[in-house]
Amino acid sequence: MSIIAPIVSQHAEEAAFLWLLRDVAVSAPHYSLADLAELDSRVEAHIEGLRVAGDAGWSCCVEGLQQEESGEVFAAAVIALEGEDPRRIEQVCAAVEATPETARGFISALGWTAPDKLGGKVAGLLESDSPLWRRIGIAACAVHRVDCGKHLSQALDDPDPTLRARALRAAGETARRDLLPDLRGQMRSEDPTCGFWAAWSAVLLGDRGEGVSALQSIAVSDPPLGPRALQVVPRVLPPANAGDWLKVLAQYPERRRELVIGCGVSGDPVYIPWLITRMEEAPDLARVAGEALSLITGLDIADEDLEQDAPEGFEAGPTEHPEDEDVALDPDEDLPWPNPGPIKAWWDTNSARFHAGTRYLSGEPISEAQCQRVLETGSQRQRRAATLELALLRPDAPLFETRAPGFRQQQGLVQEAMKHPGAPEA
C-alpha cells in the first residue's frame, strides 16, 4: 500500500484538532447527541487514517507528542492502546509524565478505546506505584462505568489528594453504595475538592442528610466548586425547601448568575416570570435565563424564532480594549439572545400546562421516561441534567456518561430501548 506522508500527517493534525473541539462540545449548550456523534465520526475517520497508515501513522503521532498538548496525546494514545506494542504506550506515558496536564487527552483516549482493546492495560495503571497513573486508571474505569473494586476503595484513603478526589467521584459515577460510610467520612476532608466529591457522590448514592448540607454550603461559599454543587442541590430538595434555599442564595449579589441557573435546575415553573424579567432587565443574565427557562419548559428559543440581536454596546468575554485585564471567555457565547416580549407571550399561552411545585425537565414532569427522551434528543447540557436526575431516581445504577463517543452512546440508548419496549425509541 502506498503511503502519502502529507496526508498521514494531516490525519494526525486533524485528529488532535477535532479532539479539542469535542472537548468543548461535550458540555456545550448547542450540541445534541446527533451533533456529537457527527463530530466524533470525523475524529474516528482521522484515527482510522492513522491506523491504516501503520508505522507511518505512528511516526506522525510521535512527532505530535513533541507539542505537549492534550489533543496530540489523545491521538497517539488511541493508536498505542489499540495495538500490542508496549513501547508505544511507554512513549505516550513518558509524554504525559513530562507534561501532566495532558493527562486529560490520555484519559479521553482510554474512554474512546473499545473495552475489548484495553485488556490488561488498565490493570497495570491501577497497580502502579505512581499516584498519577493510579488516578488515570481509576478515571479510565469510571468513564467506562466499570467498578475497579479494591483499587477504588484503597484510593479513598490515599495521601495524594488528586487521586483521592478522583476516586471519590468515581464512587458516585459507578454506583458504589457500599462506600457510603467512607464518603461521609471524607466530607470533612481538609482538601475542598475531596470534600466536594465525597458529598456529590454520597448524594447521588442516596444520602439526603449530611451530603446535601455540605453541597448547600459549597454552592454558596466556594466559587470553583459552587457551580457543580448547584447542579445537585435544587434537584434533591423538595420544591418548597429548594425555594427557601434559593432565597438564601439571592442574598449574595455576587451569586446572581448562580441564582438564575439554580432556578432552572429546580425545574419549578414558578420561577418562569422572574426569569423573563431577568431577560428584560439584566443583559448579562439574559442568555443564561433563557437557558434556564428552556431547561424547565423545553422551549427552543432559536428554533422557535424567539431570539434577538445582542443589546447595542453589550460586551462579554475578552474585549479589544488594551486596559481590559479580563481574558475570561464569555460563558454564554453559544446561547441565543432571548427576545423577552415574544417569550412572555409564549408563556402566557402555555403556562396553564405547567404547575407550580412540580419539577419539569424540558417540558415534561421529571420521570425516568422523560430523562431517557432528553438523553436522546436534548442538548449536551440538558442531557447532563437528565443523567443527574436519573442517578437521583436510581441510586443503584451507574451515572450515564454523556462524554462517551457519540456513536457508542447512540448504541447504548438503542440497547436500553430494546430492553424496555415501552420506552421511547432512540
What's the rounded mean pLDDT across residues 195-199? Answer: 98
At 166, is the pLDDT very low, low, confident or very high (cuts 50, 70, 90)?
very high
Q: What is the pLDDT of residue 422?
A: 53
How far is the C-alpha of 52 from the C-alpha of 40, rounded, in Å?
18
Please check whether residue 365 is in contact with residue 333, taking contact to mean a CB–CB distance below 8 angstroms. no
Q: For 335-353, what is each residue's pLDDT tens digit?
A: 999 999 999 999 999 999 9
Helix (H, G, I), strand (E, B) or coil at 360: strand
Q: Does 172 score more than 70 pLDDT?
A: yes
Helix (H, G, I), strand (E, B) or coil at 182: helix
Q: For 98-120, what is each residue's pLDDT tens digit?
A: 999 999 999 999 999 999 999 88
What's the rounded mean pLDDT across residues 55-82? Answer: 98
* Cell numbers given for 116: 475489548
Matching residue, cell 446535601: 212
Q: What is the pLDDT of residue 424?
A: 45
Please check whether residue 297 is in contact with residue 363, taking contact to mean a CB–CB distance below 8 angstroms. yes
Please check whether residue 13 is in contact with residue 359, taking contact to mean a CB–CB distance below 8 angstroms. no
Q: What is the pLDDT of residue 326?
A: 47
Please check whether residue 82 is in contact with residue 58, taking contact to mean a CB–CB distance below 8 angstroms. no
Q: What is the pLDDT of residue 3?
A: 75
How far is the C-alpha of 258 from the C-alpha of 382, rounded, in Å?
17
Q: What is the pLDDT of residue 120?
A: 87
Q: Does 426 score more than 60 pLDDT?
A: no
Q: Is 418 or 126 the better-scoring residue by pLDDT?
A: 126
- DSSP, res 32: B
Q: For 23-58, what is each residue's pLDDT tens digit?
A: 999 999 999 999 999 999 999 999 999 999 999 999
| Of residues 94, 74, 83, 17, the one with CA closest to residue 53 | 83
Phi-psi region of 400 (alpha: psi -120 to 50; beta: other; left: phi over 0): beta
Q: Does 376 score more than 70 pLDDT?
A: yes
| Of residues 405, 303, 401, 411, the one with CA closest to residue 36 | 405
